[in-house]
């Protein structure tokens, strides 16, 4: 459920007409609904209300500090994967004791910054990372709190690029090797062993892989206990999918119930790292039609709608072949036709949709690319020297620009002619 609705054929975000925002902000822009973000966070968090837990929003999915601040105000923590994300998260006012740090390649400087910031947990992904963290913590005269990210070798049945919990993926520590690492860590003066974590993939539409992974983690936690290691946290990562098209992912309530059932008898605080499920359907990308054109082939004609948003603004269609629903902001009731919706970038791979049925549109019409709140702006770039677009947050009858559109001077900031 989200707060993007059609009223008399006109798309609204909460109480604001999308067209009004476009008139004032220009296009393209990302548009988020505060009520939807709030509702999604609360629905997810409520699913775990009966157990000790911490919901750490996956910052990579949507990193604007206004959104991080909103979730922090609702009691959320943050799952970060870089020094830059740590900086944002702190700027947004997230309590450091609610920040966990994942990722396979943390640099020494990043580890130092996170130790200084007194975050809750480091999710360690290799023996070398453990040794580096011990060295950095020792040089600072402190103890670093860690979980180890276990790779449970479970197939999440999702897109290959976003499967992370299979042995062939670069993530985590094979479950068979993990005990030795825990025992090594127990002997390290500047490491405090606190938990176990895993993250098997993203956009999962089935509950079974999560439960399979959790089951393996549970058995592993018992093995740790047999070896005298008692942990306080179990982190199940993120990954619950959303509906982009016809997918039927589990409702957070159903997901929560299955996990709580599997966790019965385990005394640990559950950490979750949801990203997409909180923000995906709380954001859209609004773009304006620049041109329509038809390329006449030998056997058939191909119609293109050229818009002002491109693969640098929303990379998911180009990168993963991902589907995003695209609808006119004002429905004119025009007949439908099949088109490719493409951007201005000089690559054939620059498209938002292919062979898509769309009401006939004209130059100047606005289109809404739906379900763009997750991995939308956060994956955008300046390719083709395109300034990154504005981000806008609607709250009831008002809207706020939460990130200004970049300017041409922004594009060359930091560049120098020697
Ligand atoms: N925790 C860790 C350690 C992760 O690597 C991820 C996502 C999450 C949590 C959040 O997963 P979520 O709840 O959002 O599924 N760019 C891709 C998605 C990449 C996901 C990477 N890891 C896309 O646009 O589909």
Question: What would the pLDDT profile of 129-141 be if each residue is shown by its tens digit?
Answer: 999 999 999 999 9
**Please, is 56 exposed, middle or buried when counting C-beta atoms within 10 Å of its C-beta (0-12, 13-18, 19+)?**
buried
Give the residue numbers marked as catalytic.
Answer: 346
Domains of the chain by start residue, with CATH? 4-31+281-411 (2.40.37.10), 34-280 (3.20.20.10)
- The encoded tokens of residue 106 equal 């943390």
Burial 204-242 (b: 16+ CB within 10 A, else e): bbebebbbbbbebbbebbeebeeeebebbbbbbbbbbbb
Instruction: Using the mean position of ligand 1's atoms as its centre, give its distance from the Cα of residue 200 in Å.
Output: 9
Q: Is the pLDDT of residue 162 over 70?
A: no
- Dist. CA 356–CA 341, nearest whole Å: 8
The response to whether residue 235 sits with its C-beta less than 6 Å from ligand 1 reads no
Instruction: Using the mean position of ligand 1's atoms as its centre, give its distance from the Cα of residue 290 in Å.
Output: 33
Q: Ligand 1 pocket test: which of 58, 59, 203 has the largest number of ligand atoms within 8 Å of its C-beta?
A: 58
Sheet order of strands, 16-17 included: 4-7, 10-13, 16-17
Confidence band of 170 (pLDDT split at 50, 70, 90): confident
The response to whether residue 40 sits with its C-beta less than 6 Å from ligand 1 reads no
Instruction: Using the mean position of ligand 1's atoms as its centre, give its distance from the Cα of residue 43 in Å.
Output: 19
Instruction: Name the residue with the closest Cα to ligand 1, atom 5.
Output: 199
Instruction: Name the residue with the closest Cα to ligand 1, atom 7.
Output: 202
Q: Is the pLDDT of residue 64 over 80?
A: yes
The predicted pLDDT at position 297 comes to: 82
The predicted pLDDT at position 1 comes to: 79
Instruction: Using the mean position of ligand 1's atoms as its centre, give its distance from the Cα of residue 127 in Å.
Output: 23
Q: Is the pLDDT of residue 265 over 70?
A: yes
The predicted pLDDT at position 208 comes to: 95
Q: State mean pLDDT over 247-273.
A: 97
Q: Is the pLDDT of residue 218 over 70?
A: yes
Q: Is the pLDDT of residue 164 over 80?
A: no
Confidence band of 299 (pLDDT split at 50, 70, 90): confident
Q: Supply the mean pLDDT for the chain.
A: 96
The response to whether residue 203 sits with its C-beta less than 6 Å from ligand 1 reads yes
- Dist. CA 176–CA 155, nearest whole Å: 17
- Dist. CA 275–CA 80, nearest whole Å: 11
Instruction: Using the mean position of ligand 1's atoms as its centre, give its distance from the Cα of residue 64 in Å.
Output: 16
Q: Ligand 1 pocket test: which of 104, 238, 245, 250 has the largest number of ligand atoms within 8 Å of its C-beta?
A: 238
Q: Is the pLDDT of residue 250 over 80?
A: yes
What would the DSSP string read from start to end of 79-148?
EE-SHHHHHHHHHTT--GGGEEE--S---HHHHHHHHHTT-SEEEE-SHHHHHHHHHHHHHHT--EEEEE
The predicted pLDDT at position 165 comes to: 67
- Dist. CA 210–CA 260, nearest whole Å: 12
Instruction: Using the mean position of ligand 1's atoms as its centre, give its distance from the Cα of residue 273 in Å.
Output: 9
- Dist. CA 119–CA 99, nearest whole Å: 5
Instruction: Using the mean position of ligand 1's atoms as its centre, give its distance from the Cα of residue 309 in Å.
Output: 23
Q: State mean pLDDT over 194-216.
A: 95
Contact 339, 304 (CB under 8 A): yes
Q: State mean pLDDT over 65-87.
A: 98
**Of 279, 349, 314, nearest to 32 (Cα)?**
279
The response to whether residue 316 sits with its C-beta less than 6 Å from ligand 1 reads yes
Instruction: Name the residue with the closest Cα to ligand 1, atom 8.
Output: 238
Ligand 1 atom nearest to 203, measured from its CA: 15
Q: Ligand 1 pocket test: which of 61, 121, 125, 151 has the largest number of ligand atoms within 8 Å of its C-beta?
A: 61
Three-state SS string over 345-369 comes to CCCCCCEEEEEEEEECCCCCCEEEE
Query: Which of 103-107, 282-286, 293-297 is least confident?
Result: 293-297
For the segment 12-52, what is each residue's pLDDT rounded down to a tens digit?
999 999 999 999 999 999 999 999 999 999 999 999 999 99
- The encoded tokens of residue 145 equal 């709190």
Q: Is the pLDDT of residue 407 over 80?
A: yes
The response to whether residue 61 sits with its C-beta less than 6 Å from ligand 1 reads yes
Q: Which residue has the higher pLDDT, 176 or 412?
A: 412
Q: Is the pLDDT of residue 69 over 90?
A: yes
- The encoded tokens of residue 405 equal 């559109």
Q: At 56, give phi and psi (nearest 5°).
A: -105, 105
Q: Is the pLDDT of residue 375 over 90?
A: yes
Confidence band of 108 (pLDDT split at 50, 70, 90): very high
Three-state SS at 404 = coil
Q: Is the pLDDT of residue 161 over 90?
A: no
The response to whether residue 58 sits with its C-beta less than 6 Å from ligand 1 reads yes
- The encoded tokens of residue 43 equal 């629905």
- Dist. CA 341–CA 176, nearest whole Å: 48
Ligand 1 atom nearest to 102, measured from its CA: 3
- The encoded tokens of residue 193 equal 């062993």
Contact 70, 37 (CB under 8 A): yes
Percent of the chain with pLDDT over 70: 99
The predicted pLDDT at position 117 comes to: 98
Question: Which residues is 31 bridged to in the sheet?
Answer: 284, 392
Q: Is the pLDDT of residue 144 over 90?
A: yes
Confidence band of 238 (pLDDT split at 50, 70, 90): very high
């Amino acid at each position: 459920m989200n707060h993007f609705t059609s009223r008399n054929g006109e798309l609204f975000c909460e109480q604001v007409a999308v067209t009004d925002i476009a008139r004032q902000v220009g296009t393209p822009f990302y548009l988020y609904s505060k009520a939807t973000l709030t509702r999604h966070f609360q629905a997810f968090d409520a699913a775990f209300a009966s157990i000790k837990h911490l919901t750490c929003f996956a910052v990579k999915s949507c990193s604007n500090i206004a959104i991080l601040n909103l979730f922090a105000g609702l009691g959320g923590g943050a799952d970060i994967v870089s020094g830059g994300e740590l900086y944002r998260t702190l700027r947004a006012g997230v309590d450091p004791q609610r920040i966990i740090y994942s990722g396979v390649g943390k640099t020494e400087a990043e580890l130092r910054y996170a130790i200084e910031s007194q975050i809750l947990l480091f999710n360690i992904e290799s023996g070398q990372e453990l040794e580096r963290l011990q060295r950095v913590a020792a040089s600072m005269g402190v103890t670093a709190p860690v979980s180890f990210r276990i790779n449970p070798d479970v197939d999440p049945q999702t897109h290959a690029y976003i499967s992370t919990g299979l042995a062939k993926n670069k993530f985590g520590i094979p479950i068979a090797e993990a005990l030795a690492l825990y025992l090594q860590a127990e002997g390290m003066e500047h490491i405090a062993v606190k938990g176990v974590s895993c993250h098997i993939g993203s956009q999962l539409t089935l509950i079974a892989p999560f439960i399979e992974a959790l089951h393996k983690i549970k058995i592993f936690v018992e093995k740790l206990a047999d070896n005298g290691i008692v942990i306080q946290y179990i982190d199940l990562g993120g990954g619950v999918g959303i509906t982009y098209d016809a997918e039927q992912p589990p409702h957070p309530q159903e997901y929560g119930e299955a996990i709580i059932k599997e966790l019965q008898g385990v005394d640990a605080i559950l950490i979750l790292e949801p990203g997409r499920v909180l923000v995906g359907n709380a954001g859209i990308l609004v773009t304006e039609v620049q041109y329509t054109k038809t390329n006449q082939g030998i056997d058939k004609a191909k119609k293109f709608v050229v818009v002002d948003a491109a693969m640098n603004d929303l990379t998911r269609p180009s990168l993963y072949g991902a589907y995003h629903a695209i609808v006119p902001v004002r429905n004119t009731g025009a007949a439908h036709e099949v088109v490719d919706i493409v951007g201005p970038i000089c690559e054939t791979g620059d498209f938002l949709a292919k062979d898509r049925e769309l009401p006939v549109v004209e130059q100047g019409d606005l289109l809404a690319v739906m379900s763009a709140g997750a991995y939308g702006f956060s994956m955008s770039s300046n390719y083709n020297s395109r300034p990154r677009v504005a981000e806008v947050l609607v709250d009831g009858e008002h809207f706020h620009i939460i990130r200004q559109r970049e300017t041409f001077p922004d594009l060359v900031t930091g560049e120098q002619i020697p």
